[in-house]
A = this chain, B = another copy of it.
Amino acid sequence: MDRPSHSKTLTEIAAEADISLSTVSKVLNGRGDVAAETRQRVSGLLRRHGYRPAAQRGFGVIDLLIGELHSPWAAELVSGSVKAAGRDGMSVVVSTLGSGRELAEWRRATNNRGTDGVLIVGNLSRETILHVLAGTNTPTVVIDPNEEPDASFLRSVGTTNHQGGALAARHLLEFGHRRIAVLAGPSDVWACRARADGVVTELAQAGFPLDRRFHRHGELNPAAGRRVAAELLSEPDPPTAIIAANDGQAFGVLQALTERGLRAPDHLSVIGYDDVPVATWSAPPLTTVRQPLAAMAGAAYRMLGLGADGGFGEVRHLEIAASLVVRDSTGPPRLGRWET
């Protein structure tokens, strides 16, 4: 494979169009001083031979920067951006940016090969995001930022987190649950706060305000879900349902149940958040609030404004609706206390 090789030289194209090389070059570079008719004729010819106007002549590559790739959550974002970019013939370079060394490697690589746009996944540290933004004037969009996004400063894609939390709460209320626990994520993650707020508001509005003892926090992984669920299940009157901050936590809650010989939804209803593909793998399959992660990545790509149609180049912030996916980990509460 060789560097993008054009089938013909500009000189040959000039001959074909029966026009001077100079004019062909001017058309290619979008200069103004060319007759409209000439421009049209020549630019068609150019395109046919694989040349594109200088303004549109990109690298054909965007970068997706992500903290780590091991979570199913991350994989969905990769998948969504690859699909969206592929439709425009753009390639997606995936880089992990967990350490300072990786940031330096990425800098070096993009200096060599160039990039037409950068998608930053919000689970990267604020510091890393600032570093990336500072060093480039390439269009950049943050996916699911950890902090409340300041649209004057950075462009971002999110989901309706507050509504997502409300959706989960309403689902449990409809089943008749009254003793509902919230396992919120880390309190410094903005999206997690918004989700928990959605739950709290919905419960209060329904007339069953959240019991303070049932408002917990934990990291976004199974270990935290398992630990907090174990604590809650040891309470004198445990909750009948738990709303977790992501699917990983919800899997941990199911582990805690299994360890005690209990199961969902008989002894405890469990709701996750994200709807990663493995949410269907749990026993029982997980009821969860769906964040359309692939669609979010696709929207972020379009906000780069690289497609032929310009995409959503003007949009500063965009929010996609969350929705409830009901599977088998939720059901009506048992009356009274369950026999162990």
Q: Is A176 an interface residue (CB 8 A)?
A: no
Interface: A1 (CB within 8 A): yes
Q: Is the CB of A75 within 8 A of B86?
A: no
| Contact, CB under 8 Å: A254 / B277 | no
* Any B CB within 8 A of the CB of A281: yes
Contact (A94, B94) CB under 8 Å given A69-B75, A112-B89, A222-B281: yes
The closest CB in chain B to the CB of A81 belongs to B94
Whether a CB of chain B sits under 8 angstroms from the CB of A301 is: no
How many residues belonging to A are interface residues under a CB distance threshold of 8 Å?
Answer: 63
Which residues of B sit under 8 angstroms from A105, Cβ to Cβ? 86-87, 89
- CB within 8 A of A71: which of B86, B137, B277? B277
B278 in contact with A258 (CB, 8 Å): no
A261: min CB distance to chain B, Å: 8
Say yes or no: A96 contacts B71, CB within 8 Å: no
- A114 neighbours in B (Cβ, 8 Å): 1-4
A294 to B69, CA, bound (A): 11
Interfacial chain B residues near A259, Cβ < 8 Å:
283-284
- Residues from chain B with a CB closer than 8 A to the CB of A257 are 283
A253 to B248: give the CA distance in the assembly, Å: 20
Q: Is A91 an interface residue (CB 8 A)?
A: yes
CA A138 to CA B60, docked complex, whole Å: 19
Q: Which of B78, B109, B111, B280 is within 8 Å of A69, CB to CB?
A: B78
Residue-wise interface mask of A (97-127) relative to B, using a CB-CB cutoff of 8 A (1 in contact, 0 not): 0000010011011111111000000000000
Contact A79 B93 (CB under 8 A): no
CA distance A86 to B105 in the complex (A): 6
> Is A82 part of the contact surface with B, judged by Cβ < 8 Å?
yes
A255 touches B284 (CB 8 A): yes
Q: Which of B1, B258, B282 meets A137, CB within 8 Å? A: B1
Chain B residue numbers with a CB within 8 Å of A115 are: 1
Chain B positions within 8 Å of A75 at CB level: 69-70, 72, 74-75, 78
The residues of B that contact A108 with a CB separation of less than 8 Å are 89
Cβ of A83 under 8 Å from chain B? yes
Q: Tell which of B89, B91, B254 touches A283, judged by Cβ atoms closer than 8 Å.
A: B254
For residue A311, CB closer than 8 A to chain B, the reply is no
Q: Which of chain B's residues have a CB closer than 8 A to the CB of A112?
A: 4, 60, 89
Report yes or no: B86 in contact with A79, Cβ–Cβ below 8 A.
Answer: no
- Residues of chain B within 8 A of A22, CB atoms compared: none
In the complex, A214→B280 CA distance in Å? 26
Across the A-B interface, the 9 shortest Cβ-Cβ residue pairs: A258-B283, A75-B75, A69-B79, A251-B281, A255-B283, A91-B93, A60-B113, A60-B112, A70-B277
New A-B contacts (16) at CB < 8 Å, excluding given A1-B114, A75-B75, A283-B283 = A4-B111, A4-B112, A63-B91, A69-B82, A78-B94, A82-B95, A86-B95, A86-B106, A86-B109, A92-B95, A94-B94, A251-B278, A255-B283, A257-B283, A258-B258, A258-B263
